[in-house]
Structure 1
Amino acid sequence: MSDTPPVRRRRFSQIYAVPENLSDDSPRMRGRIAALMHSTLEKPHLQKDCSGFLKAELNLKFRTNATYSVSWDETLAKIEKNIFLDSITVVYEFFHEDKYEYFSERGADKRVKDYIIDVNRIFAEEHVAYWIDNEGVVHPKPDEAFRNSYEDTIKGLNGAGFTAARKHIADSDGYILQDPPNWSKAIYSVFLAGENIFKVVTNDSQLNGKKLDQRLKPLIEKKYDDPHTRRSALNLYDGFKEWVDCAHNYRHDPGDKEPTQPPEDLALAIINSGYGYVRWLASFGAPEAISSED
Structure 2
Amino acid sequence: MNDGGQTSTGKLFTQVYRQRTEKIKESDRFKRRIAGYLSALENYSASDLRNYLRIETGHTVPIRNLSLDWDSYFKAIPFEEVLDQLTLIGRQFLATDVTRRGTTQSGSLFKDWHNFISRAIEEENLSYSVDKKCGLHYSVDEHFSAERQSIILGLSGSRYQAVRKAIEESFGHFEGQPQDLKSASRSIFEAAETLTKIMFPGESGLNSAAIKNSLTSAVNRLYSDDPIAVRFSAQIVRSFDSWVNAVHVYRHGQQTHEPISVPIELATAALSAGVSFIRWLAFLDEALIAKGKERTSKAEPIKLEES
Encode CA deviations 1:196-229: one digit per residue, 9 max, x unaligned.
1001111123100011100000111111231222
In 2 relative to 1, CA 129–167 (structure 1 residues): closer, same or farther, beyond 3 Å? farther
Give, in angstroms, the shift of residue 138 of structure 1: 4.5
Encode CA deviations 1:40-71: one digit per residue, 9 max, x unaligned.
662332xxxxxxxxxxxxxxxxxxxx74567x
Task: Answer yes or no: is the 8 Å Cα contact 2:250–2:262 preserved in 1.
Answer: no
1:42-81 → structure 2 map (5 Å cutoff): 42-45=61-64, 67-68=66-67
1:174 is matched with 172
Coordinate RMSD, CA, aligned: 4.1
2:9 is matched with none
In 2 relative to 1, CA 129–197 (structure 1 residues): closer, same or farther, beyond 3 Å? farther
Give, in angstroms, the shift of residue 157 of structure 1: 1.1
Query: Which among 85, 102, 111 is matched to residue 118 of structure 1?
Result: 85
Give, in angstroms, the shift of residue 283 of structure 1: 1.3
Q: State the distance in 2 between where 1:68 and 1:121 align.
A: 20
**Unpaired runs of 5+ in structure 2?**
1-32, 41-45, 51-58, 92-109, 129-138, 290-307
Instruction: Tell me: higher relative CO, structure 1 or 2? Use CA pairs within 8 A at least 6 residues apart.
Output: 1
Tell me which moved more, 223-232 or 161-170: 223-232
1:161 is matched with 159
1:30-109 → structure 2 map (5 Å cutoff): 34-35=37-38, 39=50, 42-45=61-64, 67-68=66-67, 92=74, 94-95=75-76
In 2 relative to 1, CA 265–227 (structure 1 residues): closer, same or farther, beyond 3 Å? same
In 2 relative to 1, CA 138–241 (structure 1 residues): closer, same or farther, beyond 3 Å? same
**Unpaired runs of 5+ in structure 1?**
1-29, 46-65, 73-86, 96-108, 132-136, 289-294
1:201-240 → structure 2 map (5 Å cutoff): 201-203=199-201, 204-225=203-224, 226-240=226-240
The structure that has the greater radius of gyration is 2
Task: Answer yes or no: is the 8 Å Cα contact 2:182–2:250 preserved in 1.
Answer: yes
Aligned length: 202
TM-score, scaled to structure 1 = 0.57
Task: Answer yes or no: is the 8 Å Cα contact 2:223–2:229 preserved in 1.
Answer: yes
In 2 relative to 1, CA 112–220 (structure 1 residues): closer, same or farther, beyond 3 Å? closer
Q: State the distance in 2 between where 1:167 and 1:130 align.
A: 33
